[in-house]
Amino acid sequence: MPRRPGETQPARTALAWQRTALGVLAVAALLARAAVVRDRPLVVLPAAVVALAGLALLGAAGPHRLRTARQAAETGGSGRAARGAALATGVVVLTALAGLAAVALLP
């Protein structure tokens, strides 16, 4: 099925990936702030890991997903991205684990 002029699915998909990545970066900022405010330099490590994962998702995986979604919409192909979805899920789980680690390290 060719892409219709009003098709917005690729744009919505890209925005969802951006929201996920920005949420991960927000958690990294909160972890870094907690490390500074509570004078716990060890908490900076999980914050840095989460920030790098969020930047990778925002800078590389998100744009790649947008390109593949647009291509699938134009050609009528499958827009599935199992590896990309697994990557995004892994980043969110990593963020949750880093948050738990930070809670364990903070008094």
Which of 52, 69, 50 has its CA nearest to residue 12?
Answer: 69
What's the number of domains the chain is made of? Answer: 1
| Domain contains 91 | yes
| Domain contains 36 | yes
Which residue segment(s) compose the domain that 57 sits in? Answer: 9-105
| Domain contains 2 | no
Cβ atoms within 10 A of the Cβ of 77, count? Answer: 11
User: pTM above 0.85?
Assistant: no
pLDDT digits (tens, 9 = 90+) for 88-101: 888 899 999 988 88
| Domain contains 4 | no
| Domain contains 50 | yes
- Which is more confidently placed, 88 or 49? 49
